[in-house]
A and B are shown apart, each in its own frame.
Chain A
Amino acid sequence: MPPKNRRFTDRARCRFCREKVRQMDYKDLQSLQKLTTGQGKLFSRKRSGNCAKHQRQAKVALKRARYLGLMPYIGNQG
């Protein structure tokens, strides 16, 4: 029940680990958009807070989404 402690421990972990995502999905555009810049580049682990495992999955998911035209290779330019 103490919100502060819970928040601290939650923050310490990757957000996909927190939700126990086993495999990131390329169809999950909302989460992919949160992980990319306006240009469509994937945020660094430092920026996104992802663990190594989920960052790899995000990379693959983003590339699949790009291939299918769901996410841009090059987004907003300038």
Chain B
Amino acid sequence: MKLYEGMFVIDAARAAREWEETLSTVTSVLEKHGASMEKGWRFDERKLAYPITRVRRGVYLLQYFNADPQSITDMREDLNLSEAVLRYMILRVDAEASPETPTLGTATPVPADSAIPGRDAPSTPAPAPKAEEPKAEEAKAEEPKAEEPKAEEPKAEEPKAEEPKAEEPKAEEPVPVEAATEEPPAEETPADEPAEPKKEEA
């Protein structure tokens, strides 16, 4: 059993009409060939770059699953015959290289038991910042991975959001230590007070 990721393009009109049925047909095809579902996301409706079989708007379903490599070809045959899926792509996932959270617009998690949350999910770019924060904390890289590809506007915002995080703990920790050890009453010596904030800023 190896980890795969399947991306399925679904007609937006069909998804709006019968999303749960469509999702269950896709997952049932995968499970029919012995796949076990992992995480899944549904991406909000978006305009296709070009019409596929005269369909102009699509909903994307990203489903991770474990399956036998030999069963993939059978899945492909069934998916080719399926009318629910406009297009699909099944790729092997390199667990270390692939990002866990999707970057394709607004993502709605798809539960494995096909109890689908409706379209009432807030259209906030919540998944992206979630993905960025842990990366920055773990790797402590100067520039986060997932953010750079975004448009120029988020670029400017993201470093701002991260810098204070990195600075705050540094600034907070030394201040109480110095104040406690050197001078418990910090107010008596005004000369030291301006010195401390300077250090913080630098």
Contact = CB atoms under 8 A, between A and B. Distances in A.
Given A31-B148, A31-B149, A25 B98 contact: yes
A30 B149 contact: yes
Q: Range of interface residues on chain B?
A: 20 to 34
**Could you tell me the dominant secondary structure of chain A's interface residues?**
loop
A12 interface: no
B97 A22 contact: yes
Interface string B74-108: 00000000000011010100101111001110000
A2 interface: no
B141 A19 contact: yes
B151 interface: yes
4 closest A-B pairs by CB: A31-B149, A23-B97, A69-B48, A22-B97
Interface of A: 15, 18-23, 25, 27-32, 34, 40, 64, 66-75
Interface of B: 7, 9, 48-50, 52, 58, 60, 62, 86-87, 89, 91, 94, 96-99, 102-104, 141, 143-146, 148-151
13 contacts: A19-B143, A19-B145, A20-B145, A22-B94, A22-B96, A23-B94, A25-B98, A25-B99, A32-B149, A34-B149, A40-B49, A68-B60, A72-B50
